[in-house]
Amino acid sequence: MAKADTDIRQAILDHLEDTRSVAPREIAQVLAEEEEDWRKYLPRIRIEAVKLHADGLLVFIRKKKVVSPEGLKGVYRFSKPAADE
């Protein structure tokens, strides 16, 4: 059964911690009903993460720096925004 976008959004928010970033893969593995199915969630996780970024609830991290999700490629993580962002 496919997860709703709201389920994916909530899974992202549930995994964000104050002191630790989270990889999209970690969230996808929790959402997947079958262990090998986690990859199919990655595009939808990214879409919801971009929306959360636009709402100011999440930042994208690459090489330990906050980056824009626009055109972002390669390995990245999510984190809560710092208090001063």
pLDDT at 1: 47
Mean pLDDT of 13-41: 91
Structure pTM? 0.88
User: What CA–CA distances, in Å, run from 83 to 23, 59, 73, 79?
Assistant: 21, 12, 26, 12
Distance CA 14, CA 19 (A): 14
Beta strand residue intervals within 14-83, DSSP E:
59-62, 65-67, 77-79
| Residue located via tokens 């928010």 | 13
All structural domains of the chain: 5-79 (1.10.10.10)
Express each pLDDT in 28-71 by its tens digit. Answer: 999 998 888 999 999 999 999 999 999 999 999 999 999 999 99
